[in-house]
Structure 1
Amino acid sequence: MNCRHIAVFSGGSAANSLVDVFGKVAVDESCSLSYIIPISDNGGSSSELIRVFGGPGIGDVRSRLVRLIPETPSSPEKAAIKSFFNHRLSPIPDAARIEWLSIIEATHPLWIHIPSSTRELIRSFLLTLNLEIVKRHRPSSIFSFQSASVGNLFLTGARLFTGSFDSSIYLLAAITGLPDTTNVIPAINSNFSHHISAGLADGTIITGQNSISHPSAPSATSSNTVPPATNIEVLQEIGIESPSTNTRRFSLELSQHDGVEDANLPGSLPTLRKQYIEFAKEDPEDLASRIERIWYINPYGQEIRPAPNPAVLESLSKASCVMYSIGSLYTSIIPCLVLRDVGAAIANPGIKVKIFILNGSLDRETRSLNTGAFSAADFVRAISDACDSSRGRKGEWREYVTHVIYLAGEGTPRVDKEELAEKGIECVRIYGRKNTSGGGMIYDTGALTGALEAILGSPKRGGERRGEKSRRNTVDENGGIIRKAVDRG
């Protein structure tokens, strides 16, 4: 296959482990590469930036940009810049503020090995952000630097200075020397926040990405100084005579948040206005029922259908291959797919290969208490449903996914090859190694690279045909190199 361009749908941290794979395949196939990244995250330090400044959730975009920074042993500058933008401030609020001051005053050790010309350019945007923080300081709303990502702070400062999210990404890419053949594209190019909701099979609606994937209580920091309202007199003051318990709770919370001067519109859903700086990514409780649908909402919780970043459609229009990376299905991949016209762009017959890389384990989004774990077909069905929603009509699964790459082993999703074959989807099994820290299996980069190039018909791999088996170096469960066949059946 003559590959012109590869478009990869992915989130941030999970897919970062495969960036070298995607980069090598693009180089071997002599084609350009783009990453399409969601901007709906409202957890972690992004939640505080959104609360005070508004704007998109930039954590996943920053994570991918920093991961792509090229490093060489002869260039300590690149390693220093990478460490700088990856750095998080102290988890203790007061210590984090002091650390921030040492960064903008250029006395922090992070600046060592960063040339003065680069340092002063970076500082100028951090100083812009610092000025905006001071301007927005109110008794009811004090910005918290707790666990803040320096890369997120830079992107926010650059966005506020230029008035453009796209320009802030360009600045970070230029400063860090990202290759011209690789682009990081936010799914929506906007200076406004975009949030998602999830509808479960039992009728439950969960609002906000953090609540969907990592449910947690709002962080207790010094920035929320509004005292809680707890008595019926307060309810009567805001015009509620005999509310139900839920209405009372919601109205009290709404009145409290409306008393805070931040970037949120009055009347916005309280769930979208809270700090979620602290949350546990590991082992959240299972959902009571399966997620059936993801949609975007306005600040009041009403469904909207935003348009994608025009660069997303441009990337898909020139793509010969689309890949769906590992990561959170409903909060990393599907928020990109449900945007208007994205489904139709993926279904374009000109994109010959559409590869879904199946997760090596299950998470909160793909298992539930009453319906159990997702199979590979459930993953593909979710992708197809999201693309159908974007497209406005029903399509065939094969219009969106032509191949599924998966791992075999304990804790991995069940792969129903016969069902997928009936849909015209080819399954390719490769071997990985056990994930000793989180359960399931993780991909071996060499084996995955070989499988992707075999599907793309790379001359370097001999272009195996359907039904053939090709020899690959893979790893066993103990990490040793073994020789096994890639099952293309």
Structure 2
Amino acid sequence: MDAPRPRGIVVFGGGTATNSLVDVFESIRESRNCSLSYVIPISDNGGSSSELIRVFGGPGIGDVRSRLVRLIPGSDTDAERASIKDLFNYRLSTDPLQARLQWLDIVEGRHQLWSNISSEKRELIRSVFNLVNLEIVKRARPSSVFNFSKASIGNLFLTGARVFTGSLESAIYLLSTICSIPPTVSTLPAINTNFTHHISAGLADGTQITGQNSISHPSAPTSLPDDDSLGNGSDRSPQQQQQQQREMEEHDLIEDATLPGSLPTLRKQYIDFSKAAADDDDLPARIARIWYINPYGHEIWPGANSKVLAAIRGARAVVYSVGSLYTSIVPSLIPRGIGAALAGGGGPQFKVLILNSANDRETGPRAAPLTATDFVRAVARAAAGNSSGSSNSGGSDGDADVRIGGAEEVRQYVTHLVYLEGEGAPRVDRDELAALGVECIRVYGRRVDGMLRYDEAGLTRALEAVIGKPEMLRSRRNTSGQ
């Protein structure tokens, strides 16, 4: 009889930052011969995803596509897998007309991207492209045509597969199969949905910012429609209310996938934005809370993907990876059920936060940047906010701190902190964290283009020291049995 597979690893994190550590997690998975699950948020409404959401609706799938393509094995040595990676990572021209011509070359099989892809895979992929192209043509209106500028080919594929199957997880399964991703590695959307789920951020000074792109990148503060019961309408001047009303009326003349009367900031195209500008533009105050909203801006409490809950309950370790704290990590922690799965008995033994090597727009302002303790509390608050079905789904600096004030409560969600020391890195107070029951492990890093980065070998050793190498676990079992 085959020995039971060791309990798995679950990694929370979306975007390019976690992509840079995929080889670390894969090394640990291989050495332990266990499952590895990546939990990805679906709330991103920036870049080419914003145009797909505007025309098709549905979740933001850019981070899902990015992770799936990053997980393609052997793309450095296998010509076909390298070509598949290039295809699904390809972005069309910034010029809309040129981009549309490039898209047609790909759909019709003429583009050089197809050169090393076998005919059976090419025709399977093209069938999805043909479907999404047909849907784009069907949805064209005088007031609204699809903008192919900077469109991600992989995002178009996932959208077409989701529209065809009616299932986000089926679309992910199809792309995973084409990319030859091992069955023991899963990419799981935090919420399994065919609908768009946006997030809002509440700042400590009372400012509210609506939509992930507006949180992550410089933008004007946004607010809900006039509704005094939500504490937003009375704070706006008549001129601001009139401007918002005009914006809504203008957008209602455009026929696309957005519902009439939905918030203008959720209906805009965010194809062009500067990540570099975000690093130089402080939020006016710290983020106090993140929550999900419907298209009209009202708070909702979506349930977590059941496969994510099962992965957490079957995991030995959960890792909160590097990346944007409030838009890459927290949106995957606040759906209903996540907190209970993390804190419940029989769940993961180790919950490791890999601290970012620098603060960003979300974890500033630079005058008072978040410390390592602030990161730990933010993760714990987010998870604790939904563990009992509370409406405080994103955590706050008020009552939620009472629930997670002591070491016992914090350790339900974070047991270890892995961090770097260097200029610009968040401050780590080991005594303060020890009082919360969090064990700290320092890892040496290296400078890449002036930025402090984790050394992969060092990070792998640190995670193995926490989770335990397979031979270490066997040694412990043998010792305990004597």
Return the offset for 1:462: 9.0
Structure 2, unpaired ranges of 5+? 221-236, 391-402, 477-482
Change (3 A) 1:73 1:6: closer
Matched, 1:108 2:102: no
The 2-side partners of 1:390 and 1:95 are apart by: 47
Tell me if the contact between 1:453 and 1:461 (Cα under 8 Å) persists in the aligned partners. no
**Equivalent residue for 1:417?**
430
The 2-side partners of 1:205 and 1:115 are apart by: 50
Tell me if the contact between 1:454 and 1:464 (Cα under 8 Å) persists in the aligned partners. no
1:257 to 247, 251, 259: 251
Return the offset for 1:197: 0.1
Return the offset for 1:436: 2.4
Matches within 5 A, 1:145-224: 145-215=148-218
The 2-side partners of 1:73 and 1:154 are apart by: 23
Return the offset for 1:297: 0.3
The letter for the 1-side match of 2:266 is L
Find the residue that maps to 1:451 and give its secondary structure: helix
The letter for the 2-side match of 1:184 is T
The 1-side partners of 2:110 and 2:242 are apart by: 50
Find the residue that maps to 1:322 and give its secondary structure: strand
1:293 to 289, 294, 311: 289
Change (3 A) 1:340 1:15: same
**Equivalent residue for 1:135?**
138
Find the residue that maps to 1:282 and give its secondary structure: helix
The letter for the 1-side match of 2:438 is I
The 2-side partners of 1:407 and 1:283 are apart by: 25
**Equivalent residue for 1:84?**
87
Return the offset for 1:463: 10
Change (3 A) 1:418 1:49: same
The letter for the 1-side match of 2:256 is D
The letter for the 1-side match of 2:439 is E
The 2-side partners of 1:410 and 1:463 are apart by: 40
Q: Percent identity?
A: 58
Return the offset for 1:460: 5.1
- Stretches of 4+ aligned residues off by more than 4 angstroms: 459-465
The letter for the 1-side match of 2:356 is N
2:377 to 375, 381, 384: 381
Matched, 1:445 2:441: no
Matches within 5 A, 1:305-316: 305-316=301-312
Give deviations 1:302-356, integer Å, cap 9, x for gaps: 0000001111111111111100000000000000101101011111243211100
Find the residue that maps to 2:143 and give its secondary structure: coil
Find the residue that maps to 1:405 and give its secondary structure: strand
Give deviations 1:26-52, integer Å, cap 9, x for gaps: 111221100000000000000000000
**Equivalent residue for 1:479?**
none
Give deviations 1:73-96, integer Å, cap 9, x for gaps: 552101000110010001111110
Tell me if the contact between 1:11 and 1:37 (Cα under 8 Å) persists in the aligned partners. yes
Tell me if the contact between 1:88 and 1:148 (Cα under 8 Å) persists in the aligned partners. yes
**Equivalent residue for 2:469?**
458
Tell me how large the CA RMSD over aligned residues is: 1.7
Return the offset for 1:245: 0.5
The 2-side partners of 1:133 and 1:149 are apart by: 15
Find the residue that maps to 1:452 and give its secondary structure: helix
The 2-side partners of 1:51 and 1:457 are apart by: 46
The 1-side partners of 2:116 and 2:469 are apart by: 41
The 1-side partners of 2:412 and 2:34 are apart by: 22
Equivalences, count: 436
Matched, 1:430 2:452: no
Question: Hey, which of these two has a bigger chunk of helix by percent?
Answer: 2
**Equivalent residue for 2:234?**
none
The 2-side partners of 1:293 and 1:462 are apart by: 39
Find the residue that maps to 1:372 and give its secondary structure: coil
Structure 1, unpaired ranges of 5+? 218-242, 466-489
Matched, 1:358 2:355: yes
Give deviations 1:212-252, integer Å, cap 9, x for gaps: 001359xxxxxxxxxxxxxxxxxxxxxxxxx8110111010
Change (3 A) 1:406 1:3: farther
The letter for the 2-side match of 1:181 is T
Tell me if the contact between 1:454 and 1:462 (Cα under 8 Å) persists in the aligned partners. no
Change (3 A) 1:52 1:190: same
TM-score, with length taken from structure 2: 0.88
The letter for the 2-side match of 1:352 is Q
Tell me if the contact between 2:218 and 2:277 (Cα under 8 Å) persists in the aligned partners. no
Find the residue that maps to 1:308 and give its secondary structure: coil
Matched, 1:17 2:20: yes
